[in-house]
Amino acid sequence: MAAATSSQKITVRKFQVHSNFERFAYLFMRMSGVGLLILAVGHMLIQHVLNSSANLTIEFVAAQWNSWGWKVYDILLLWLAIPHGINGLRNILEDYIHNPTTVKLINRLLALFVVATVIWATIGMALFDASKFQ
């Protein structure tokens, strides 16, 4: 049968997709994954290979964050990585924890944690005043 396949003769049907959170989360994991490939891998290479933690000083950090470019880079990384990672954790926990009430509770806590972390760290980075350290 496979041999007979030609693309024009295939009937394509359209339908209304009903969104649900799982579908959104699935797509988000993949989209953010692509973003993270550049941001996270880049970050690791720059911070941990080209520079190493052994030579890290607060002055170095200050120098980098003096530029808004780096600030935005890191903030973006933050915004993608934390929701991605926590949603990944949620996937894993939901595999093993089956009590719906517990799952709901955990999900609330995780959501709270994402929001708190993202806000806190964003403020931290955005308001970081490099001049203090130079």
Partner 1 sequence: MSSLILTIRESLRYRGRSGHVSWMAHRVSGIAILTFLVIHVWDTANAHFWPQAYAWSVAFFKYPLVAVGELVIMAAVLYHAFNGIRITILDFKPEWWMHQQRSATIVWAIFLVLFIPIAIYMFSGIVGHCSELAAHGSTCWQIPPFSDFAKYAN
Partner 2 sequence: MAEVKTHSFDAIIVGAGGAGLMAALYASREVNVAVISKLYPTRSHTGAAQGGIGAALGNIEEDRWEWHAYDTVKGSDYLADQDAVDVLCKEAIDTVIELEHMGLPFDRFPNGKISQRRFGGHTNNETGKPVQRACHAADRTGHMILQTLYQQCIKNKVNFFDEFHVVDLIRVGDTVRGVVAVEISTGDFHVFHSKAVLFATGGWGRCWEVTSNAHSLTGDGAAICVRRGIPMEDMEFFQFHPTGIYRLGILITEGVRGEGGVLLNSKGERFMEKYAPSIKDLASRDVVSRAIFLEIQAGRGINGENYVHLDITPETVNKYLAEAGESRRITREYVEAKLPDIADFTRTYLGVDPVKEPMPIQPTAHYAMGGIPTDVDGRVVLDQNNKVLAGLYAAGECACVSVHGANRLGTNSLVDLVVFGRRSGVHMAQYCKEAEKLPLPKNPVDEVMAEFDRIRNGSGGAKPYELRKQMQKTMTDNVGVFRTDETISKAVDDLRLLRAEYNRNIQIDDKGARFNTDLLEAWELGCLLELAEITAVSALNRTESRGGHARDDYPKRNDVDWLKHTLCFSENGKLRLDYKPVVIGRYQPKERVY
Partner 3 sequence: MKVDLRVRRFNPEKDQKPWWGEYTLEKVRATDTVLDLLHRIKWEQDGTLTLRRSCAHGVCGSDALRINGANMLACKTLVTRLTKDNNYARIQVEPILGMQIIKDLVVDMEPFFDHYRSVMPYFVNDNPLPANGRERLQSQEDRARFDDTTKCILCAACTSSCPSFWANEKYIGPAAIVQAHRFIFDTRDEAFEERLEVVGDTFGVWRCRTNFNCSNACPREIEVTRAIAEVKMALTTGKI
- Contact indicator for 88, 26 with CB cutoff of 8 Å: no
82-121: which residues touch partner 1 (CB under 8 A)? 82, 85-86, 88-89, 92, 95-96, 98, 117, 120-121
Residue ranges in contact with partner 3 by CB under 8 A: 1-2, 4-6, 9-18, 20-23, 25-27, 94-96, 98
d(CA 81, CA 87): 10
- Does position 50 bind partner 2 by CB under 8 A? no
- Contact indicator for 78, 121 with CB cutoff of 8 Å: yes
- Which residue's CB is nearer to partner 3, number 27 or number 115? 27
- Which residue's CB is nearer to partner 1, number 15 or number 96? 96
Angle, alpha carbons 69-71-76 (nearest 5°): 95
Q: Residues interacting with partner 2, by CB under 8 A? A: 1-4
